[in-house]
């Protein structure tokens, strides 16, 4: 049975070769992946871990006119406050009406854990339908119901006939996967099983009459539009400025761009099958969905890194253009854009050349950013990826080729990050939200790896990245003074040990 026919999605741990604990070079990482030793690596000590469910919630909370029903103890929903704020801001930035993320939880108690919580879940789904009248109800299955054996998939199936909303099961218990990237598959699995991707006659279009003399012309128009339409797949970490930059470039090639699956509505989802190409902006984000669309509708897909920096943006654009026979136009566009962008970044280059950096965060973005910055003379000391899986192979093959001496680690552990900062002493770090404080306490200025408030992709994005680095390097007195007055929580023996001494085979 294919993964797509199963009620419950597979986790990446069973679908792909992956790692959450690694230290070495990009070359050895690729060898280890081929030999199958990545999953055998582990840590004898973990400071913290992440839950895939929270990332699934981030995606679901953006969907228009939807309600989230968490089948969980109350605590699993603690993230939904800030998620609701950020998804609301994302809606406003995209010109959509500001609406709160509606959610409720079944609030499983000790009694439910003993007696089962299916009845509570049915009541919650029916209440959500009556109270909010949503188009979509996302039913999120967490650790507790999966441990006690509640059949959430069966409840979702049987409730479909009882409520007017589409009921979508999102099966993402935190304990089932070692990497949060499984969350993307869980969200997409719910969509592809429970949401229609084909337009409905009369609702979405007026069927053409073959006896009408205008029929051949109308059909030709329809076919032309479909053959020049791209579905661009976004992600929670990709803000509206990046979507606009990529749309600007693809539109300049005469292509029509539609963006899925975050911030979309049920009506928009029905258009997914009506495009010539599915384009992903991140290797580890969309393969599960895009392979499904190829299998189901014969739609080709394009997954080829992130359009960060000049070389990658050109390669990415030309690769997409090749599907439409527009390679020469894409090369010309890249020449024009690069010329403008090179002039714009010129003043930044003397200030960043030769600076030593550590880059950490999402596996593809960290690798792509490192390669792009190294091209302009930044010395990449280390790349720290939050996880690694087969989908990142091409990016790390490029890292191995262009940055053979850079250290590569797979780690979400803050103590290892702090140790690296103290021992490698970079001039600056480019890092994920939530880790800037650790860098500042060690006297190291930091720059955001991504933010939904600015551009990071294409030509506009690369100019902004360099501008941020110059700004961060311009005045480091805050970090210098903070480091003098902060007492680190680590013992001396750890500072003297190898950064990754807790990684075990
Ligand atoms: S790990 Fe499990 S219990 Fe904890 S927040 Fe995630 S789903 Fe809930």
Per-residue confidence (pLDDT) for residue 374, from 0 to 100: 97
> Which atom belonging to ligand 1 lies closest to the Cα atom of 143?
2
The reply to whether 2 falls in a domain is: no
Residue keyed to tokens 């069927």: 207
Q: Specify if 408 maps to a domain.
A: yes
SS3 state of residue 1: coil
Q: In this structure, is residue 22 part of a structural domain?
A: no
Does residue 205 lie within any of the structural domains?
no
Distance 172 CA to ligand 1 centre (A): 9
Ligand 1 centroid–CA 408 distance in Å is 29
pTM of the full structure: 0.94
Task: Say if residue 317 is in the same domain as residue 436.
Answer: no
Q: Do 354 and 491 share a structural domain?
A: yes
Residue owning tokens 């552990």: 413
Domain endpoint, select from 320, 340, 360:
340
53 lines ligand 1 (CB under 6 A): yes
Q: What is the Cα–Cα distance from 71 to 378, expressed in whole angstroms?
A: 48
98 C-alpha to ligand 1 centroid (Å): 28
Distance, in Å, from the CA atom of 382 to the CA atom of 370, rounded to the nearest integer, reads 9
- The Cα diameter of the chain in Å comes to 84
Instruction: Look at residue 23 and tell me if it is in a domain.
Output: no
For the record, the structure tokens of 367 come out as: 């690798």
Atom 8 in ligand 1: residue holding the nearest Cα: 76
CA of 109 to the centre of ligand 1 (A): 14
Decide: 165 in ligand 1 pocket, CB within 6 A. no
Closest C-alpha to ligand 1, atom 3: 143
Instruction: Show the DSSP H helices in 16-79 as ranges.
Output: 26-35, 52-60
The reply to whether 327 and 351 lie within a common domain is no
Domains identified in the chain, total number: 3
Residue nearest to atom 6 of ligand 1 (CA): 174
Tell me whether residue 209 is in a domain: no
The dihedral sign for the CA sequence 325, 329, 335, 336: negative
**Residue 419 belongs to domain with CATH number:** 3.40.50.1980
| Radius of gyration, CA atoms only, the chain | 24
Q: What residue owns the CA closest to ligand 1's atom 5?
A: 76
Last residue of a domain, one of 340, 368, 388: 340
Quick check: CB of 108 below 6 Å from ligand 1?
Answer: no
Using CA atoms, how far apart are residues 96 and 450, in angstroms rounded to an integer?
23
Q: Please tell me the distance between residue 10's alpha carbon and the centre of ligand 1 in angstroms.
A: 17
User: Same domain for 299 and 359?
Assistant: no
- Indicate whether residue 66 lines ligand 1 (CB < 6 A): no
Residue 105 beta carbon below 6 angstroms from any ligand 1 atom: no
What string of DSSP letters covers 146-173?
Answer: HHHT--HHHHHHHHTTTSSSEEEEEE--
CB 231 within 8 A of CB 275: yes
pLDDT at 38: 84
What's the pLDDT tens digit per position in 63-99? Answer: 999 999 999 998 999 999 999 999 999 999 999 999 8
Ligand 1 atom with least separation from CA of 172: 7
- With a 6 Å cutoff on the Cβ, whether 173 touches ligand 1 is yes
Same-domain pairing of 388 and 365: yes
The dihedral over CA atoms of 116, 122, 125, 127, expressed in degrees to the nearest 10, equals -110
Tell me the CA–centroid distance for residue 181 and ligand 1, in Å: 15
Give the residue among 315, 318, 285, 286 at the shortest CA–CA distance from 301: 286
- Within this chain, do residues 329 and 358 fall inside the same structural domain, yes or no? no
Q: Is the CB of 52 under 6 A from ligand 1?
A: no
Binding site membership of 142 for ligand 1 (Cβ less than 6 Å): yes
- The per-residue DSSP string of 258-295 comes to EEESTT--HHHHTTTTS-SEEEESSTTTSHHHHHHHHH
Q: Is the CB of 72 under 6 A from ligand 1?
A: yes
Q: Which atom of ligand 1 is nearest to the CA of 79?
A: 5
Positions of the chain with pLDDT lower than 70, given as ranges:
none
Q: What is the pLDDT of residue 208?
A: 87
Q: Provide the residue range defining the domain that includes 353.
A: 347-504
Last residue of a domain, one of 179, 204, 227: 179
pLDDT at position 281 is 95
Compute the CA torsion angle 274, 277, 280, 281 (nearest 10 deg).
-110
CA distance 377 to 347: 14
Using a 6 Å cutoff on CB, does residue 380 contact ligand 1? no
Residue 12 lies in a domain: no
The reply to whether 490 and 393 lie within a common domain is yes
Say yes or no: 331 and 440 in one domain: no
Ligand 1 pocket check for 174: Cβ under 6 Å: yes
CA 493 to ligand 1 centroid distance, Å? 33
Domain identity same for 355 and 328: no
Substitution site in 76, 107, 146 for ligand 1 pocket (most atoms within 8 Å of beta carbon): 76
Verify that 304 and 257 share a domain, yes or no: yes
Record the tokens describing residue 357, joined without a space.
Answer: 């950096």
pLDDT at 100: 84
User: Would 195 be classed as within a structural domain?
Assistant: no
Residues 260 and 304 grouped into a single domain: yes
Do residues 329 and 449 both lie within one domain?
A: no
Whether 51 lines ligand 1, by a CB cut-off of 6 Å, is yes
């Amino acid at each position: 049975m294919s993964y797509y026919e199963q009620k419950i999605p597979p986790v990446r741990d069973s679908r792909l070769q992956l790692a959450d604990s690694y230290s070495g070079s990009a070359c050895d990482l690729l060898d280890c992946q081929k030999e199958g030793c990545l999953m055998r690596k582990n840590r004898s000590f973990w400071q913290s871990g992440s839950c895939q469910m929270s990332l699934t919630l981030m995606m679901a909370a953006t969907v228009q006119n939807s309600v989230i029903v968490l089948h969980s103890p109350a605590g699993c929903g603690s993230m939904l406050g800030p998620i609701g704020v950020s998804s609301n801001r994302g809606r406003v930035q995209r010109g959509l009406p500001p609406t709160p993320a509606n959610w409720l939880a079944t609030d499983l108690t000790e009694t439910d854990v003993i007696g089962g919580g299916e009845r509570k879940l049915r009541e919650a789904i029916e209440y959500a339908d009556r109270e909010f009248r949503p188009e979509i109800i996302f039913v999120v299955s967490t650790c507790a119901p999966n441990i006690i054996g509640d059949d959430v998939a069966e409840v979702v199936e049987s409730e479909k006939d009882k409520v007017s909303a589409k009921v979508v099961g999102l099966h993402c218990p935190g304990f089932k996967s070692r990497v949060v990237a499984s969350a993307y598959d869980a969200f997409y699995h719910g969509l592809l099983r429970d949401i229609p991707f084909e337009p409905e006659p009369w609702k979405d279009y007026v069927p053409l009459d073959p006896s009408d003399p205008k029929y051949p012309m109308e059909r030709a128009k329809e076919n032309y539009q479909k053959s020049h339409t791209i579905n661009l797949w976004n992600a929670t970490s990709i803000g509206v400025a990046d979507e606009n930059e990529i749309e600007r470039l693809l539109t300049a090639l005469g292509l029509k761009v539609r963006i899925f699956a975050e911030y979309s509505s049920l009506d928009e989802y029905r258009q997914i099958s009506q495009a010539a190409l599915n384009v992903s902006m991140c290797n580890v984000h969309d393969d599960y969905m895009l392979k499904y669309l190829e299998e189901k509708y014969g739609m080709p897909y394009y997954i080829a890194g992130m359009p960060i920096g000049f070389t990658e943006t050109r390669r990415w654009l030309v690769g997409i253009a090749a599907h439409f026979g527009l390679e020469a136009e894409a090369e010309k566009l890249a020449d024009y854009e690069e010329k403008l962008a090179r002039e714009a970044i010129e003043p930044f280059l003397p200030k960043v050349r030769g600076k030593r950096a550590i880059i950490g965060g999402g596996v593809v973005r960290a690798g792509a950013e490192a390669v792009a910055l190294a091209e302009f003379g930044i010395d990449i000391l280390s790349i720290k990826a939050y996880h690694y899986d087969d989908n990142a192979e091409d990016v790390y093959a490029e890292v191995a080729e262009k940055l053979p001496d850079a250290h590569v680690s797979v780690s979400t552990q803050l103590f290892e990050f702090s140790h690296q900062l103290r021992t490698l002493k970079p001039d600056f770090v480019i890092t994920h939200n939530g880790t800037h404080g650790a860098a500042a306490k060690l006297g190291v200025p930091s720059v955001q790896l991504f933010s939904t408030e600015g551009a990071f992709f294409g030509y506009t994005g690369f100019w902004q990245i360099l501008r941020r680095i110059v700004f961060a390097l311009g005045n480091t007195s805050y970090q210098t003074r903070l480091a003098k007055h902060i007492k680190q929580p680590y013992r001396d023996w750890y500072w003297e040990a190898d950064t990754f001494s807790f990684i075990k085979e």
